[in-house]
Amino acid sequence: DADVTQTPRNRITKTGKRIMLECSQTKGHDRMYWYRQDPGLGLRLIYYSFDVKDINKGEISDGYSVSRQAQAKFSLSLESAIPNQTALYFCATSGGFTTQYFGPGTRLLVL
């Protein structure tokens, strides 16, 4: 079984809809992250969390919110999706300092 799982793997939604992307991990890590990848732009950090009570904004948090329901679960919400949020979204975890381990990604298309 994968250490970091993301659901759904693919999602098509319409402008204005609220959607949630979910991430679960079995690595026992405290730290979890959400990134988005756009063609030619690499990975950019949206939000991160160091434990259940800790939530921090990343580089591009506008239009997104997160919830850390448990040590193993970290969800990303788009309250009102817009087309420029079409991207590949990755969840990642880390147990210590620097090395992060990524999930398989969620491909989101906002029409």
Partner 1 sequence: DQQVKQNSPSLSVQEGRISILNCDYTNSMFDYFLWYKKYPAEGPTFLISISSIKDKNEDGRFTVFLNKSAKHLSLHIVPSQPGDSAVYFCAASAWSGAGSYQLTFGKGTKLSVIP
Residues lying near partner 1 in the complex (CB under 8 A): 4, 40-45, 48, 50, 56, 58, 90, 92, 97-105
Closest CB 32 distance from partner 1, rounded Å: 12
Instruction: Write out the E strands in 1-111.
Output: 4-7, 10-13, 19-25, 31-38, 42-51, 54-57, 64-70, 73-78, 87-94, 101-102, 106-110
Of the two residues 6 and 82, which places its CB atom closer to partner 1 in the complex?
6
Of the two residues 7 and 80, which places its CB atom closer to partner 1 in the complex?
7
Closest CB 16 distance from partner 1, rounded Å: 28
CB 13 within 8 A of CB 108: yes
Burial of 41 (0-12, 13-18, 19+ CB in 10 A): exposed
Closest CB 73 distance from partner 1, rounded Å: 17
Of the two residues 85 and 106, which places its CB atom closer to partner 1 in the complex?
106
